[in-house]
Structure 1
């Protein structure tokens, strides 16, 4: 290896960064980063003598990021795309096809270097996307119609390989961490209307329209605000399958103390109504075509989900030696799925299936004569006359409510004037 000699000039003292991050559960996790730059001279000091955080971030090396999905790539992605589809160009990432909307067909939405989506932490602005105590970003636990994020609500994505780093903390990050960075307001005002759409061989399609308003820097307060709304209507090429998604987003940035401190508020609300596809035997597909799904009076699976994510961040350069940060967050993820199978098509000789025109259709029908209370809180025979009539509906509810805070503090420690290391 060649010897590399770097000299870093921060006023009259040379510094390197020691970041000590207090994680969500109050565990102090140290992280050490040696500041380096391709230039021999770097000034990281404001006119008032305080350390310039932007200059520090430029000379601090990236933390184990395998790759990043750039702002340009995210900006030019289709508004109707699944928010995880932008990961398809990440080396080692295999994004499983989904649709319409954010409907996923399996419990795993992607794989990364042999790990499934449930084994990867997924964060938004450093906060778990769905569940503080469960990894992944959807798909697991039969949550196959979930929209915790939509296109336009994030600006870029970073992928970290391996176990957690203090600054990229997450649950179930056995395979790594995916960090979605929020869309933030810019210094100039703009108003934007957008739309996209397309059809699958003249059947179904996917259509999205949206609006964005960016305030720019408001005179007097220096406040910057960004608000977005989009609507997606996605009828599938399969009959009786669709997704309708409403997405709301807001970001407010308020600097103060001559720009040395900042408050940031991120808030989003996504609401999705969907009809999920049912399992269909090949014999039915051979007879009616690949778009076949049973009529709604025979079987269906209707899903209603909503996602709320509110993050209030604060950071401040306390003095030339200390930078303090914290984040307060509130999350709510609700999933309500009701499956139906018409008992008139049930054949008790083939448990677990309803029969339609002589062919089986996958169902959730459970013909319990006296189901245990662990499965039902009622007696279907007493209330509905028969076990089949009393179990033709299946309701799956998943409500997740999370709140917490993520504090951290960074120290800038003086080091000798000439600092050398071997790379």
Structure 2
């Protein structure tokens, strides 16, 4: 097993895609602007890299197809629990799989807390912001490209993880010039304003044709009262997308996203990234200590706030439309996960086990692209060269899992090859 280098210079930790998390003190940059970031020697935050790697592993591990395996073994509670946590919940609540996107988004903010002031000190604020804006455009374009695979023409939708991060990142970069107190205020303004806009939008009437917007007749997640403003495909975000997405050339008129996902979710997603920026400052400022108590208390408070909003009928916890309650609830869970990784790796010193995750975390953009592009090619190659029934050797029930293990091994082996050669894909 490889040791994880504690002090390694490599690519910049922007957008959660690159390997560095820098620790250091806060210098003043320029006469008029004191930046709450830090330019400091590069020191690996292995806990952040491992957490990022864990998140990307969960995404790549979709190839294990545990839902299909669970269908073959309906009496196995363990397989069914694992399958549940490898799928998104239908609407309200969360599985482990639902924490992939908020974790990835939050870690973007964590990374910015380490890299912001160094970049501004080196390039000046104007050039650094232009660079951030260019990166955001690349992320949006990459998201559109990946969602257009197999289509007759470009599929202009912006609800995917990369596009959502890209749309919010320039605003996050501007907010990084502000104090932590102002970041909390900005979070409240963003989430409160977003909630109010949805609450003021008219509720769909009794004659609303839910079937026409992809909501099945047996849908059991309709809300009433105030919460009805957040019903699937009958909300402000849906109305915006039926206007906005039809401004682009399309194969057919956009009517609704069948999963309920929305372009406007980038606004509360920015709130998730702000939570990451705040957490990153806490980690950097406390170094070499770990602010474990702060992460645990703040995380628990955020989770509780989201639950209270949901139970009180003020705002539901729904990841698919990234409600303000979801921002708080998922952000709190991400804080707790970050605390867990920091406690095990940084405080207890158990680092070797994290090496496979760090390999993924150092190349998260590469992992994201590979997972979206390579699966079919790898599976077909196995079947072509080793026989069409190669994955049925252990029986048809576990065949999807065996297939997934083979694909996942190729994914990780590729990232390990890149790690050994210090090839890190960054944007």
TM superposition score normalised by structure 1: 0.26
- Greater Cα radius of gyration, structure 1 or 2: 1
